[in-house]
Amino acid sequence: MTATRPPLSRNRILIEALALLDESGVEQLSMRRLGQRLGVDPMAIYHHIPSKTALLDSLVEEIWLGVQLPEVRAGESWQEVLCDVFRAFRERLYQHPRAVVLVGTRPSVTPAMLRLVDQILGRLDQTEITGKDAMELIDCLSGYTVGKVLAEIGGAEQSTSANVASVLAAVDATTHPYLARTLLEYGPAAEEEFERGLVALVTGWRLAAATVEPPRA
């Protein structure tokens, strides 16, 4: 007896599209292949999602939906709130590594992203960092997180030591003595490097705001 397929819906389309993206990458994500996976004529998808562009934007929304503001903790600092959010964002990106390029290159204004940012701003509203200053830091942390994960997954097929070794092999110690010497000592874990950068950005933001002059008109 043949199993009955569930009716086609926007939610089912997005679940299967994200699974296809995870398996094959964005280059292989087409309405034709998605239709085959769903067992429907590709044209049927357009009754729920109007275009390939809308599908890709919806997948970015699915990624943001998986990032939640952490529960309030007694005595938490605004720095801890932001670090917790962007650790969660990094973890979410690693759940769907082939979607990271979409998050980094497509317009990031989705309902889930706007809701999360508003919640963060609300959490920070009575702290030392609010409004424009907080918004600029959130934007900076978002770009940092996406960029680091893109770099990390780009070298995921090799270990950190193998990546360093490949760079070292291309470096001539006679012309790049400091780089060659440093590479012999270099090799932090990706998570450790991300964490150090995250903490540095968050803890140093207010200091930088006090010392960096705005660009002249």
CA distance 114 to 112: 5
The DSSP annotation for 164-216 comes to HHHHHHH--TTT-HHHHHHHTT----HHHHHHHHHHHHHHHHHHHHHHSPPPP
pLDDT of residue 108: 66
Backbone angles phi, psi at 63, to 5 degrees: -65, -50
* pTM assigned to the model: 0.84
pLDDT of residue 84: 96
- The model's pLDDT over 88-124, given as tens digits with 9 standing for 90+, comes to 999 999 999 999 999 998 876 899 999 999 999 999 9
- The model's pLDDT over 79-91, given as tens digits with 9 standing for 90+, comes to 999 999 999 999 9
Q: Please report the domains of the chain, with CATH numbers, ordered by start residue.
A: 10-50 (1.10.10.60), 70-211 (1.10.357.10)
